Amino acid sequence: MLSRRTWLAGAAGVLAAPSALAQQAPLPPLKSLAPWPLGTCVQTPQLNDPQWVQLATTHFNRLTPEFEMKMEVVLQADGSLRFERPDSLVAFAKAHGMAVHGHCLIWYAEDGGRFRDLSGDAFLNAYVDYIQKVMGRYAGFIKTWDVVNEPVTDEGSTLRDCLWSQKLGEDYIGLAFTAAHQADPHAILLMNEYNLEYTPKKRATLLRAAERALKNGAPLHGIGTQTHIGGDVPPGAIRAAIRDITSLGLKVHVSEVDITLHEDRPVNAVEPRIDQLRVLDEIIDAYHEVPAAQRVGLTFWGVRDSDSWQNSGPHPRPIFDEPLLFDRFGRPKPLARELAKTLRA
Ligand code: XIL
């Protein structure tokens, strides 16, 4: 690790230590180094931010709408659907030769008021209709979708009790995948979940649910492991999660990576964060071990630290966290250089 003094001296040209020079070499486009799609999430205001546009289009080749393809934006109180915001994200992606990962159709956290008033066949019809209209709009362009998001409880031993399970039973999962497959038979359909590395019990429950759905004929192709993670994650836990998914023959999307510090440090300190680098290395190494046909890609949950949901949204953290590859001034951090190094290796 570089000491602050060495780095400062190198930056001032006083001491031309090779490692200090390497720190300042231009960062190659990360997407050119990755043998799988490399993504970031996006929100529409970022499309008007030249620095964001420059970083995102240089380093990433796929976008996941951070929330603007979710029910909270798409489904209106009267049951109609609005697509202005997801459409503008898709138009941007097309204009820049990027792919879009669809996120997400059915999520316990969003159950649009309109659904609450329905039951029986009317509920099922509205459920299928919602999935098919949203997916159908982008059929042929969006090739990968999170069909069901976060179905397992935090404790990990059961599926969540949510509007969807109350109205349709646990088969709401299988029904969603079947509806999605009808909307676009070529799309890769995923179930997306968090804490799969921290909570092996949760992982087992999720994988059992996937196997059950498959046994019942649901066209489920893979699992998104969100990987919102901290330096405290036990070594080997990320690899174990990725391996478990892979060993079932399912595809794997490492879908929402951020590596939080949860510590109060000076903003933009220049030293690499050893624990962050270790965690990133494990993610990349483990993903390299996945057979190519099972890799859906790797997505960071934002570009700059200032873009991170860890620092914004309804419940900002008391400190400024630094979970992403670029600092809030758009400069590549040691984490970005580590990613380039690991991808090259
Ligand atoms: C988060 C977004 O980052 C926030 O901007 C939004 O307000 C709430 O949702 N798991 C998911 C993502 O699947 O959709 C969540 O995104 C983060 C956790």
Instruction: Please name the residues in contact with 37: beta carbons below 8 A apart, sequence gap of 6 or more.
Output: 61, 62, 99, 296, 297, 298
Residue with CA at minimum distance from ligand 1 atom 7: 313
Mean pLDDT by 10 residues, the chain (345 residues): 34 41 78 98 98 98 98 95 98 98 98 91 98 98 98 98 97 98 98 98 98 98 97 93 98 97 56 83 98 98 95 64 94 97 95
Reference 151, options 178, 181, 124, 176; nearest CA is 176
Which of 66, 195, 228 to probe ligand 1 with, by most ligand atoms within 8 A of CB? 66
- Identify the pLDDT of residue 13: 35
Which of 148, 206, 256, 257 to probe ligand 1 with, by most ligand atoms within 8 A of CB? 256
- Identify the pLDDT of residue 7: 33
316 lines ligand 1 (CB under 6 A): no
Residue with CA at minimum distance from ligand 1 atom 6: 67
Q: Are 303 and 331 in contact (CB under 8 A)?
A: no
Q: Is 68 in the active site?
A: no
Which atom of ligand 1 is least distant from the CA of 70?
Answer: 14
- Tally the residues of the chain: 345
52 lines ligand 1 (CB under 6 A): no
Residue with CA at minimum distance from ligand 1 atom 15: 66
- Identify the pLDDT of residue 10: 34
CA distance 297 to 290: 11
Candidates 66, 193, 197, 256; catalytic one: 256
CA distance 19 to 2: 8
67 lines ligand 1 (CB under 6 A): yes
Q: How far is the CA of 192 from the centre of ligand 1 (A)?
A: 12
Q: How far is the CA of 257 from the centre of ligand 1 (A)?
A: 12
Q: In Å, what is the CA distance from 181 to each residue of 125, 143, 147, 166, 248?
A: 16, 11, 10, 23, 21
313 lines ligand 1 (CB under 6 A): yes
Reference 41, options 12, 70, 20, 16; nearest CA is 70
- Identify the pLDDT of residue 103: 98
- Identify the pLDDT of residue 70: 98
- Identify the pLDDT of residue 113: 84
CA distance 66 to 209: 25
- Identify the pLDDT of residue 327: 94
308 lines ligand 1 (CB under 6 A): no
Q: How far is the CA of 15 from the centre of ligand 1 (A)?
A: 44
String of DSSP letters for 83-119: -HHHHHHHHHHHHTT-EEEEEEEEETTB--HHHHT--
Q: Are 134 and 178 in contact (CB under 8 A)?
A: no
Which of 223, 300, 301, 307 to probe ligand 1 with, by most ligand atoms within 8 A of CB? 301
